[in-house]
Amino acid sequence: MAGCTANYYVKPDDFIKEVAANQQRTEKFNLVGTVPVFFPIRYNANNIRRILCRDKNGENVYLIPDRNTQLEITSKSTKDVVKMYFDTVFFEGSKLTGLRSRLVPGMTREIELSDIDSIVIYAEFPRTQAVDAK
């Protein structure tokens, strides 16, 4: 299926400001399993409902993240890519932290704010809103 996934780009400073403004945590639930056995998984989620970013054509759009939206953050110092779910990202001191898996609570990823080189947002079946030109 063409057009099912897309990458969006956001400046690290802009992303950090957005996370700072949405530090309120909301508990979310995931039901995992098959009928008749389900295991409720709880995790903290941020309150970012949309984020200003650039699409593949360099156009500014608002991306509306869902529970499958992921971040790929590249480290300045090592060039490693740190991956985490978008809705689980928070500040912890001078680090950005988030979950790599909602099924395994210990799979927390983190990166120092000063070590962030670039941020790519990976979205399946993305929903976007146009940015009003003023």
Q: Where are the domains of the chain?
A: 5-130
pLDDT over 90, % of the chain: 62
The torsion of the CA quartet 108, 90, 3, 62, rounded to 10 degrees, works out to 180
Euclidean distance between CA atoms 69 and 86, whole angstroms: 6
**Predicted TM-score of the model (pTM):** 0.83
pLDDT digits (tens, 9 = 90+) for 20-38: 888 777 766 555 555 455 6
The answer to whether the bond into 12 is cis (omega within 30° of 0) is: no
Q: What are phi and psi of 75, to 5 degrees?
A: -80, 135
